[in-house]
Each structure stands twice: as structure tokens, then as C-alpha cells.
């Protein structure tokens, strides 16, 4: 075979390769630009990327790690309890008027995750719940391995996690639970305590409110060493899908909120406020 034929075939291969690479590049660009892409960018080029922010919500990891009791939806409270629930965009459009008519009086809703993800339904949920008469609050899904607690608190407060004394806004909330590949997000107990302190202190500095902390007793014990450092200031939102709340994390003599089931009458997860509606209003007003 002559040199001309050989060179002709060699010249055609790069053209085909370049065409394939161009097609692949265009497809990748479309994927990255698409809403709800599976991986969000790592903040400031550091830490770990958010694996699937569109699938993370309050309690999204709890049942898989801790299971559910057969009595999860049949709670007999010992005192007055106020009904509520929590949602994210995972629930889609929420019928807020219908939930209020069914007896719910409060709701928490996802606002942010890490320092890159904003829940696309947050604005509609926040406005819709307010208009329907709910006392409501925003929560942040923590990614402690991605950036500092203060950085995530700043992002949260800037995108829905603020507070005003209007009688209808609950304290901003930190949702901290099992990591996707490591229970404690790859952090030591000391590092986790440092991260949480950084978050709640920054929220307090920006809003004047101490953040509600959502967690489970098992996760808290495993990942913070069962510290009691936050019990004096931060209301506890405990997750346990059973007919009894069980043992609480150290220092908290009672829960403020209890996520007792991950499905039920209301959209999303089923929650209780530990007290009458008047107490819920006091919490909202910080009185």
C-alpha cells in the first residue's frame, strides 16, 4: 500500500474522533446545565460535591438506617400536641389549604443544601403555607464534608433561612443526618461538633435566633459523641418513626418537635410540636 493511501486513512481517523468528541462535549454540557442534574458543583473548588441534592430531605436517610416501627403512625400523646409536617420539592405542589383543613398548623420546608443548592419549590411552599395560615419555617440540609458550617449558614440565611418576629416564622433549622457514603460524612466527633457550632453560631449572629436541630439519637450519639452542648439554646427536632419518641440525645429534657412517621395524612413527613398552638406561637415569636 502506498504512502498516499496510508496517509489518507490516518487523516480520516482524527476527523471522526473529533466529531465524536464534539458530540460528547455537547451532550455533557446539556447534562450539566439541566435543572436537577445529579451532581452539584463543589463550593469554591474544595470539599466534596453534593451527590444528589434533589433527593435529600428531612429524614431521607433515617428509615434506611433505623427502620420504622409498626406503630409509627399511631401515637397517643401524653399532653397537648400540635400537628404539622415537613416537605421539600420532592412532594411537588402542596395543597396547603387542604392540609390546614385536615388539622396541620405548622410546617418546615427545605430551603437549601450545602452552598450550591436551592430547593426549587421553597418560594412557593413558603408563600403558600403563610397564605393558608401556617406557622412555618425553613430548613437547611447539611453537607458537613463540603464546606464550613458558617459558610452553609450564610448561604441558608441568604436564601430563605431568615427570621422575623411576625408570629408565623419558626426558628431556622439545621437538618443533620446520615451521610451518603459515610455515616458521619467522614468527620470525627470533634470535627462534627466544631461544624455544628460554626453553623448555629452563624445563624444566631445573622438572625438573632438559635437554630432548631433536626437529628436522630443514634446519629447524634455516633457522630457527635452525644454532646449536650446545644441543649440549652437550640430546640430539638427528633426523628423516630415509632409510637414512642424513645431516648433523646444528651442534655435535652424534652423534644420541641418530633418527626414520628415518613408518610400519613399530610404531605411529606408527619410531625408533632410538643405543646399547644399557643406554645408554637411563642416559639415563633421567641417569647
Question: Is residue 2 annotated as part of the catalytic site, yes or no?
Answer: no
Q: What is the SS3 assignment for 195? A: helix
Q: Which of 177, 202, 234, 269 is catalytic?
A: 177
Q: Which of 113, 175, 202, 269 is catalytic?
A: 175
Q: Which of 54, 56, 86, 269 is catalytic?
A: 86
Question: Is residue 271 annotated as part of the catalytic site, yes or no?
Answer: no
CB–CB of 214/175 below 8 Å?
Answer: yes
For residue 11, pLDDT over 50 is answered with no
Least confident range from 7-16, 103-112, 125-134, 267-276: namely: 7-16
Provide the mean pLDDT of the chain.
Answer: 82
Q: What is the pLDDT of residue 34?
A: 33
For residue 47, pLDDT over 60 is answered with no
Tell me, what DSSP letter sits at residue 246? -
For residue 286, pLDDT over 90 is answered with yes
Angle at 168 between CA 236 and CA 141, to 5 degrees: 45
CA distance 267 to 155: 26
Q: pLDDT class for 95, splitting at 50, 70, 90?
A: very high
For residue 266, pLDDT over 80 is answered with yes
Question: Is residue 86 annotated as part of the catalytic site, yes or no?
Answer: yes
CA distance 113 to 50: 8
CA distance 209 to 5: 77
In sequence order, the β-bridge partners of residue 53 are: none
Higher per-residue confidence, 237 vs 44: 237
Longest dimension (CA), the chain: 94
Q: What is the pLDDT of residue 13?
A: 38
Amino acid at each position: 500500500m502506498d504512502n498516499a493511501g496510508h496517509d489518507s486513512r490516518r487523516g480520516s481517523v482524527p476527523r471522526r474522533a473529533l466529531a465524536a468528541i464534539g458530540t460528547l462535549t455537547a451532550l455533557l454540557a446539556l447534562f450539566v446545565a439541566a435543572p436537577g442534574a445529579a451532581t452539584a458543583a463543589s463550593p469554591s473548588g474544595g470539599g466534596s460535591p453534593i451527590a444528589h441534592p434533589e433527593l435529600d430531605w428531612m429524614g431521607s436517610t433515617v428509615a434506611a438506617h433505623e427502620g420504622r416501627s409498626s406503630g409509627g403512625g399511631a401515637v397517643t400523646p401524653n399532653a397537648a400536641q400540635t400537628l404539622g409536617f415537613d416537605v421539600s420539592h420532592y412532594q411537588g405542589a402542596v395543597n396547603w389549604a387542604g392540609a390546614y383543613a385536615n388539622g396541620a398548623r405548622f410546617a418546615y420546608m427545605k430551603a437549601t443544601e450545602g452552598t450550591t443548592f436551592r430547593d426549587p419549590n421553597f418560594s412557593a411552599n413558603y408563600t403558600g403555607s403563610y397564605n393558608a395560615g401556617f406557622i412555618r419555617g425553613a430548613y437547611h440540609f447539611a453537607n458537613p464534608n463540603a464546606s464550613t458550617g458558617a459558610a452553609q449558614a450564610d448561604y441558608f440565611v441568604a436564601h430563605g433561612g431568615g427570621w422575623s418576629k411576625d408570629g408565623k416564622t419558626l426558628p431556622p433549622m439545621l437538618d443533620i443526618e446520615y451521610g451518603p457514603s459515610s455515616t458521619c460524612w467522614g468527620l470525627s466527633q470533634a470535627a462534627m461538633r466544631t461544624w455544628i457550632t460554626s453553623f448555629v453560631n452563624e445563624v444566631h449572629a445573622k438572625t438573632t435566633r438559635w437554630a432548631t436541630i433536626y437529628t436522630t439519637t443514634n446519629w447524634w450519639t455516633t457522630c457527635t459523641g452525644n454532646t449536650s452542648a446545644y441543649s440549652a439554646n437550640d430546640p430539638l427536632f427528633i426523628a423516630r418513626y415509632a409510637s414512642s419518641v424513645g431516648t433523646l440525645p444528651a442534655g435535652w429534657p424534652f423534644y420541641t418537635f418530633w418527626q414520628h412517621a415518613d408518610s400519613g395524612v399530610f404531605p411529606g413527613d408527619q410531625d408533632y410540636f410538643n405543646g399547644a398552638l399557643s406554645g408554637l406561637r411563642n416559639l415563633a415569636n421567641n417569647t
